[in-house]
């Protein structure tokens, strides 16, 4: 049996065990256009799966459902890990890929892609984090609900100072300043985000800085971080918590909003790392709690990872609805790459292998207890 036929037999059987039929008629069944697909996946797992999709070697009516079924069946775990991956795993344990010298790389490679892309894809306020769909029927409402929930968890009062670590395009900074009367400093490592955030927050008590979190040295009543901790890296978690502790008033509150992993690891998905978020890494409960132990008291830990699924599907819909406006700036391979990113991520949240946590921390505990809004 040659290499292609061997790979085909192995991958076809693994997919069959997951309830997925190659060239079948269900929405989660994949359609193979190039049989090199099998060898690519067998050799490089997630990287091979994503790159072969970008190259048009396969399609699927519902990539999110395909990924969900494959994850739940443990397909990835049944494919042998190659030496190349093991070497990267070793490097990730030893090398700080999220050092200050590398901090702005993800800004240049992801967040600076183009504000036209993110304006088309995101909600009206340009939130690039999970919405709160408890009582929401659409993306705009879900994102406003997330901003309101976040501000209420922080117990914001007029005149307070708020540091927003990883402020994005200024959605939370704008909302908190406008609706809660606080003074906000937002920091980002993306030049494009900083420029647009400054425009969006014009006239409000908001300062936007292009700055690494490690360079902050200023006291704040409250600190918040929405969707930035995924770029910190396991070797920097303790440093990150030290920075927050140093800059937070003794009676202050810190809210950390981050995607989380069910298991502790020191690496990220190979395809996501190469094409979407270079040097990213998802923290586990153990890694987060170890990083803040002795520095903070945990007041609340809220998991609403299930809401990332409708958020990602809404982004996917917006992206494709606006493709005609975007295609003069982005090619077909980018379209396939971006669709795979959104639906691959959606499948991860649907399968519950990924979580979304909002964690509220205080320095010394809240006398009488902390009342967590939901």
In the chain, CATH 3.40.50.150 covers 103-362
Rounded CA-CA distance 146/143 in Å is 5
DSSP code for 111: I
Q: Which residues are bridge partners to 210 per DSSP?
A: 188
**Alpha helix positions (H), 201-255:** 237-247
pLDDT at 246 over 70: yes
Determine the pLDDT at residue 337: 97
Provide the pLDDT confidence category of residue 87 given band limits of 50, 70 and 90. Answer: very low
| CB-CB contact of 188 with 213 (8 Å) | no
In this prediction, residues 314-342 reach a mean pLDDT of 97
Whole-model pTM? 0.92
208: left (phi over 0), alpha (psi -120 to 50) or beta: beta
- CATH class of the region 103-362: alpha beta
Provide the pLDDT confidence category of residue 102 given band limits of 50, 70 and 90. Answer: low
Strand duo 58-59 + 31-32: pairing: antiparallel
Determine the pLDDT at residue 89: 41
Give the pLDDT confidence of 123-142 residue by residue, as tens digits: 999 999 999 999 999 999 99
Provide the pLDDT confidence category of residue 286 given band limits of 50, 70 and 90. Answer: very high
Roughly how many angstroms between the first and final C-alpha of the chain, as a whole number? 58
Of 6-20, 72-86, 125-139, the range with the lowest mean pLDDT is 72-86
Which class for 313: exposed (0-12), middle (13-18), buried (19 or more C-beta within 10 A)?
middle
Of 32-41, 90-99, 160-169, 352-361, the range with the lowest mean pLDDT is 90-99
pLDDT at 81 over 80: no
Of 8-22, 34-48, 106-120, 167-181, the range with the lowest mean pLDDT is 106-120
């Amino acid at each position: 049996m040659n290499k292609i036929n061997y790979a085909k037999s192995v991958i076809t059987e693994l997919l069959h065990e997951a309830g997925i039929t190659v060239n079948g008629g269900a929405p989660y069944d994949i359609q193979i256009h190039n049989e090199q697909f099998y060898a690519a996946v067998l050799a490089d797992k997630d990287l091979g799966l994503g790159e072969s999709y970008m190259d048009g070697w396969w399609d699927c009516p519902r990539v999110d459902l395909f990924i969900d079924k494959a994850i739940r069946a443990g397909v990835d775990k049944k494919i042998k890990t190659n030496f190349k991956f093991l070497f990267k795993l070793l490097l990730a344990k030893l090398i700080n890929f999220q050092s200050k010298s590398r901090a702005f790389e993800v800004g240049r490679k992801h967040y600076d892609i183009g504000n036209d892309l993110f304006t088309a894809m995101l909600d009206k306020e340009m939130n690039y984090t999970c919405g709160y769909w408890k009582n929401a029927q659409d993306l705009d409402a879900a994102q406003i609900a997330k901003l309101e929930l976040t501000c209420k968890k922080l117990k914001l009062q007029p005149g307070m100072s708020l540091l927003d670590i990883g402020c994005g395009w200024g959605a939370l900074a704008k909302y908190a300043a406008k609706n809660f009367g606080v003074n906000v400093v937002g920091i980002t490592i993306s030049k494009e985000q900083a420029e647009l955030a400054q425009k969006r927050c014009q006239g409000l008590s908001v300062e936007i800085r292009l700055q690494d979190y490690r360079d902050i040295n200023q006291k704040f009543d409250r600190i918040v971080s929405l969707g930035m901790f995924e770029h910190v890296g396991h070797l920097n978690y303790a440093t990150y918590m030290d920075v927050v502790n140093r800059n937070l008033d003794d009676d202050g509150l810190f809210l950390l909003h981050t995607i989380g992993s069910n298991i502790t690891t020191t690496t990220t998905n190979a395809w996501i790392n190469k094409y979407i978020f270079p040097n990213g890494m998802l923290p586990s409960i153990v890694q987060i709690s170890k990083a803040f132990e002795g520095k903070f008291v945990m007041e609340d830990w809220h998991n609403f990872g299930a809401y990332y699924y409708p958020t990602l599907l809404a982004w996917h819909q917006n992206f494709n609805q606006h493709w005609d406006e975007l295609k003069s700036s982005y090619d077909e391979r980018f379209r396939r790459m971006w669709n795979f990113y959104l639906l691959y991520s959606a499948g991860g949240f649907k399968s519950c292998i990924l979580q979304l946590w909002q964690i509220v921390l205080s320095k010394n505990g809240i006398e009488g207890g902390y009342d967590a809004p939901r």
